[in-house]
Amino acid sequence: MLTPSAVANAKPQAKPCKLRDERGLYLLVQPTGARLFRMDYRRPGTGKRNTLALGVFPDVSLKQARERRDTARKLLADGIDPASKRQAERSADAESFEAIAREWHGKHSAKWTESYATNLLRRLEVNVFPYIGNRPIAGLLAPDILAVLRRIEARGVIETAHRVHQYIALVFRYAVATGRATADPTPALRGAIPTANKVHFASIKEPAKVGQLLRDLDAYAGHPVTRAALQLAPLVFTRPGELRHAEWQEIDLDKAEWRIPAHKMKMKAPHIVPLSTHVVAILRELEPLTGRGQYVFPSLHSSRRCMSENTVNVALRRMGYDGQTMTGHGFRSMASTLLNEQGWNRDAIERQLAHAERDAVRAAYNYAEHLPERRRMMQAWSDYLDGLRIGADVVPIRKGA
Model pLDDT, residue 266: 79
Model pLDDT, residue 159: 86
Model pLDDT, residue 361: 44
Given the residues 68, 332, 351, 374, the one annotated as active site:
332
- Catalytic residue status for 239: yes
401 has a pLDDT exceeding 70: no
SS3 190: coil
- Catalytic residue status for 227: no
- Catalytic residue status for 292: no
Model pLDDT, residue 356: 56
Model pLDDT, residue 201: 77
Nearest to 293 by CA among 312, 306, 283: 306
- Give 262's DSSP letter: G
Model pLDDT, residue 244: 93
- Catalytic residue status for 264: no
Question: Contact, 374 vs 351, CB < 8 A?
Answer: yes
Model pLDDT, residue 28: 94
Given the residues 43, 173, 329, 399, the one annotated as active site:
329
In this structure, the strands spanning 25-29 and 35-42 are: antiparallel
Given the residues 23, 90, 305, 365, the one annotated as active site:
365
300 has a pLDDT exceeding 70: yes
Nearest to 242 by CA among 353, 119, 365: 353
In this structure, the strands spanning 49-57 and 35-42 are: antiparallel
- Could you check whether the bond before residue 58 is cis, i.e. omega within 30 degrees of 0? yes
Given the residues 163, 239, 259, 399, the one annotated as active site:
239
Average pLDDT over residues 242-256: 95
Q: Please report which confidence band the pLDDT of residue 165 belongs to, taking 50, 70 and 90 as the band edges.
A: very high
- Catalytic residue status for 122: no
Decide: pTM greater than 0.85: no
CA distance 374 to 344: 10
- Catalytic residue status for 370: no
Question: Contact, 348 vs 370, CB < 8 A?
Answer: yes
CA distance 253 to 248: 10
CA distance 302 to 360: 35
Given the residues 108, 122, 150, 355, the one annotated as active site:
355
Which tens digits make up the pLDDT trace of 328-340?
999 999 999 999 9
Given the residues 73, 135, 173, 266, the one annotated as active site:
266
Nearest to 256 by CA among 219, 282, 234, 238: 282
CA distance 246 to 43: 65
Give the lowest-confidence range in 82-96, 120-134, 377-391.
82-96
| pLDDT, the chain, mean | 88
Which tens digits make up the pLDDT trace of 56-106?
999 999 999 999 999 999 999 988 889 888 876 765 556 889 999 999 999
Give the lowest-confidence range in 165-174, 248-257, 356-365, 377-386.
356-365
Length of the chain: 401
Show Cβ contacts of residue 320 under 8 Å, excluding neighbours closer than 6 positions.
216
Task: Render the burial of 25-60: b for 16+ CB within 10 Å, e for the rest.
Answer: bbbbbeeeeebbbbbebeebeeeeeeebebeebeeb
CA distance 168 to 104: 11
Nearest 5°: the CA angle 184, 189, 193 is: 145
198 has a pLDDT exceeding 70: no
Residue 79 dihedral angles phi and psi, to the nearest 5°:
80, 20
What are the helix (H) ranges across 97-187?
97-108, 114-127, 129-132, 142-154, 158-177
